[in-house]
Chain A
Amino acid sequence: MSTPINQSPATKSPKILVFSTDKISDPGIDQAGLRKIHYAPSVYVISLPCSSGIKPKWIMHALENGFDGVFIAADGHECSYSSRCADHTNTIVETSQELMKAKNINPRRVRMAALCSVCAEPFMSHMENYGKILASLED
Chain B
Amino acid sequence: MKQRIGVYICHCGGNISDYVDVEELGKMFHKEENVVVSKDVMFACADSNQKDMVADIQANNLDAIVVCSCSPKLHLHTFKNVAARAGLNPSNYVQVNIREQCSWPHSDRPREATVKAAGLIRAGINRVSFSESLENIELTVKKSALVIGAGVSGMKAAIDLARSGNEVFLIEKDFFVGGRIAQKQTLFPTNQNGKEVVAALYNEMKKFPNITIFTGATVEKVSGSLGNFTVDIKVKPRYINPNADKKAVKRAMDECPVSVHDDFNLGLVERKAIYKNYPEALPDVPLVVAEALKDAEDFTGKFASTLNLKEEEQTLSLIAGSVLVTTGYDHYQPKEGEYGYKTISNVVTLPELNRLMEMNPDKLVYNGKQIKSLAFIYCVGSRQTKGDNKYCSRQCCTSTIHTSLQLKEKYKDIQTYHLYRDIRTYGKQELMYAESSKQGDLYFKYEEKEMPVVSVDGKSTIVKVKDYLTAKKEMEIEADLVVLVTGMVAREDATTISELFKIPIGRDKFFNEIHPKLKPVETVIKGVYIGGTCQGPKNVSESVQSSLAGASKITALLKSGTVSVDPIIARINADACTWCGKCSDVCDYTAIKEILFGEKHVATVNKAVCTGCGICAPVCPENAIEVAQYTDNEIESMIDGFMMDFDIKEKGAGEVVEVEEEGKVGMKEYPLVWREILAGMTDEKNTIPEIVANSKLASELVTFHLMTMNRYGVVVPAGMDAKETYYYYKRK
A residues apposed to B, CB below 8 Å: 1-11, 15, 17, 23, 26-27, 29-39, 41-42, 44-50, 52-58, 61-62, 65-67, 77-85, 88, 91-92, 95
Contact = CB atoms under 8 A, between A and B. Distances in A.
Contacts of A1: 32, 644
Contacts of A23: 514-515
A80 B514 contact: yes
B100 A9 contact: no
Contact of A53 (B100, B504, B515, B614): B614
A3 B636 contact: no
Interface string B504-523: 11110000111100000001
Contacts of B696: none
B618 A53 contact: yes
Contact of B71 (A30, A52, A56, A81): A30
20 contacts: A5-B646, A6-B645, A6-B646, A8-B646, A23-B515, A30-B97, A33-B105, A34-B665, A35-B665, A48-B614, A53-B613, A55-B618, A55-B623, A56-B618, A58-B632, A61-B636, A65-B643, A80-B504, A81-B588, A83-B588
B113 interface: yes
Interface stretch (B115-123, B265-273, B460-468): B115-123
Interface of B: 28, 31-33, 71-73, 97, 99-102, 104-109, 111-113, 115-116, 119-120, 123, 504-507, 512-515, 523-524, 568, 586, 588, 611-615, 617-619, 623, 627, 630, 632, 635-636, 638-640, 642-648, 665-669, 712
Q: Is the interface of B mostly helix, strand, loop or mixed?
A: loop
Contact of A88 (B615, B630, B667): B615
A10 B523 CA distance: 41
B614 A3 contact: no
Nearest to A55: B618
Contacts of B645: 5-8, 10-11
A22 B72 CA distance: 9
B614 A49 contact: yes
Contact of A9 (B112, B506, B612, B614): B112
Contacts of B614: 48-50, 52-53
A34 B623 CA distance: 38
B623 A10 contact: no
Contact of A5 (B113, B632, B644): B644
A49 B570 CA distance: 12
Interface centre among B33, B105, B514, B611 (most CB of A within 10 A): B105
Top 10 closest pairs, chain A to chain B, by CB: A53-B614, A33-B100, A33-B104, A30-B100, A41-B112, A81-B613, A77-B507, A6-B647, A52-B615, A36-B668
B99 A33 contact: yes
Given A6-B647, A62-B639, A83 B615 contact: no
Interface centre among A30, A32, A78, A88 (most CB of B within 10 A): A30
A117 B395 CA distance: 25
Nearest to B640: A65
A85 B645 CA distance: 35
Contacts of A26: 73
Contacts of B523: 80
Given A29-B101, A77-B506, A61 B514 contact: no
Contacts of B507: 77-78
A81 B97 CA distance: 24
Contacts of B105: 32-33, 36-39, 41
Given A9-B112, A36-B104, A17 B639 contact: yes
A81 B630 contact: no
Contact of A92 (B512, B513, B618, B642): B618
Contacts of B632: 55, 57-58
Contacts of B119: 44
A65 B115 contact: no
A8 B514 contact: no
Interface centre among B71, B72, B112, B615 (most CB of A within 10 A): B615
A26 B618 CA distance: 21
B611 A36 contact: no
Contacts of B640: 65
Contacts of A65: 639-640, 643
Interface centre among B613, B623, B630, B646 (most CB of A within 10 A): B613
A52 B619 CA distance: 10
Contacts of B644: 1, 3, 5
B667 A52 contact: no
A37 B662 CA distance: 13
Nearest to B611: A81
A57 B611 CA distance: 22
Contact of A67 (B112, B618, B639): B639
B618 A41 contact: no
Contacts of B72: 47
A38 B106 contact: yes
Nearest to A58: B635
Nearest to A1: B644
Nearest to A36: B668
B729 to A, nearest CB: 21
B524 A80 contact: yes
Given A36-B668, A56-B618, A83-B505, A3 B613 contact: no
B514 A67 contact: no
B115 A41 contact: yes
A79 B580 CA distance: 27
Contacts of B647: 3-6
Contacts of A62: 639
Given A5-B647, A46-B635, 15 more contacts: A3-B647, A6-B645, A8-B645, A30-B101, A38-B108, A44-B119, A49-B614, A49-B630, A55-B617, A55-B618, A55-B623, A80-B504, A80-B523, A83-B588, A88-B586
A88 B105 CA distance: 31
Interface centre among A15, A26, A44, A50 (most CB of B within 10 A): A44
Contacts of B97: 30, 45
Nearest to B109: A41
A46 B646 contact: no
Given A8-B645, A45-B101, A62-B639, A53 B112 contact: no
Given A41-B106, A41-B115, A81-B588, A2 B31 contact: yes
Contacts of B638: 46
B660 to A, nearest CB: 15
Nearest to A20: B101
B115 A10 contact: yes
Nearest to A37: B105
A58 B623 CA distance: 12
A78 B618 contact: no
Contacts of A7: 645
B374 to A, nearest CB: 38
A34 B116 contact: no
